[in-house]
Structure 1
């Protein structure tokens, strides 16, 4: 009887040892399969109090050369369901003003900052000047990133729906997805784009096509996004200049870092209720 028990015990040990590597391999493969999906990797970042840092540069592309005229830096904050706040500062390259269309330059200032919490935006700088003694203008249903936002990165891959749209349409080569999407299709899935401007997009703008190249890291999280689209989407294009395009290069760093974006002090804020135009 003791020999039988010993034999069963030995067999159990052997089965355990034999099964463990297979189980470990299965677990590793499952982990890799999950990590191979950028949308899944992004959703894992949706933890309250964490976020990502962003920087981007906007360039006007012409036959005669390229002009980089706007730089932004900032951060996005996440909650369990996705992005809940952003803090973005845009700086205009004033030396480039004579070389860019008036439609671009007219709504840009040397520097502006936008804090957005939920759907409420706080602007500092830009065309809207607060009254004396105030620093910020509060808009209950404001723009995603202030007046500079429409001339900056219009594609927000920190939104799961937007990232999915790009991954679905893009052709993958290594860790880079390249493809195109219309402004209209992007507007349907992206709250960021829907609130990028105070003016409703025209039918022509919705039909315009935006090209993209998105590179993800080994962790499948976005690292670099380059988009370009016709400058006609921003108006002010005169005959002979229809070939102008805008290109925006964005870098994402510090995924999972602590981010805590707060509203400005109430004593520094004045409230406006400007309606959406168009």
Structure 2
């Protein structure tokens, strides 16, 4: 009997010694994001977008910049756009600074025929945003929470899943109907050990019948969480309000939403 009990004890000990350690639950990305909202601090990002029609590239762009945080989210941004090859990219400012609820644009159409000494055009009421060509705005708590909740898998720090355009519309307070609402957006959301987002990739395909099959994909990466950031508006002597420009100016009267971030391009 003693030998049997001793054998059981040894077997149990061996099993415990070889058992895989329990894995800790991953850090909550939503809570991790909220902790980053500290005035005077921010994050850097790089982003690339590609668009194809029937498998052939039709447009693409690269965006990079710095985002500055306040107590509840993004309060300022300094963004550079390069390499836009689509028709809509003509209207995307090569450089833009958003601060104080205004956006200052420079380059391309935004620098056409400006008065002497003026290098920027100011657009009032256009605040900074953390979403450019990326459909999935991880700085929106409802969106980030949904990306985690709807993930079909979590492996190696990456959540993978999908949601429809209609579901994304509800999260953003926009109504999307018809066949557009049914289009599925696939995504991969990567986080570090603290739950901070390091990468978000998304893509979708839309079939427009005789017009062809359209595919758009965007990859956004974040670095330098918590770094000190101070974004300032250009000197007043260097900018002019868009309303002050003459009627025959080629400068756009508004900075349009990125067409690459809008279904159908």
* Fold match by TM threshold 0.5: yes
Paired residue secondary structure (1:42):
helix
Aligned partners of 2:51 and 2:216 also within 8 Å? yes
Aligned partners of 2:99 and 2:127 also within 8 Å? no
Paired residue secondary structure (2:38):
coil
Paired residue secondary structure (2:148):
helix
Consecutive unaligned residues of structure 1, counting only runs of 5 or more, are 1-31, 98-103, 195-200
Aligned partners of 2:92 and 2:255 also within 8 Å? no
Q: Tell me, yes or no, if structure 1 residue 59 matches structure 2 residue 50.
A: yes
List aligned pairs for 1:202-221, cutoff 5 A: 203=177, 207=181, 208-221=183-196
> RMSD across aligned C-alpha pairs, in angstroms?
3.4
Q: Tell me, yes or no, if structure 1 residue 116 matches structure 2 residue 98.
A: yes
Match of 1:141 in 2: 125
Match of 2:220 in 1: 250
Q: What is the deviation of 1:54?
A: 0.3
Q: What is the deviation of 1:253?
A: 0.5
Deviations 1:189-217 (A, max 9, x none): 459xx8xxxxxx97569624322111111
Q: What TM-score do the two structures reach when normalised by structure 2?
A: 0.69
Q: What is the deviation of 1:155?
A: 2.2
Aligned partners of 2:110 and 2:120 also within 8 Å? no
**Which of 236, 239, 242 is equivalent to 2:210?**
239
Q: What TM-score do the two structures reach when normalised by structure 1?
A: 0.66
**Which of 158, 161, 164 is equivalent to 1:176?**
158
List aligned pairs for 1:68-87, cutoff 5 A: 69-87=60-78
Match of 2:87 in 1: 105
Q: What is the deviation of 1:55?
A: 0.1
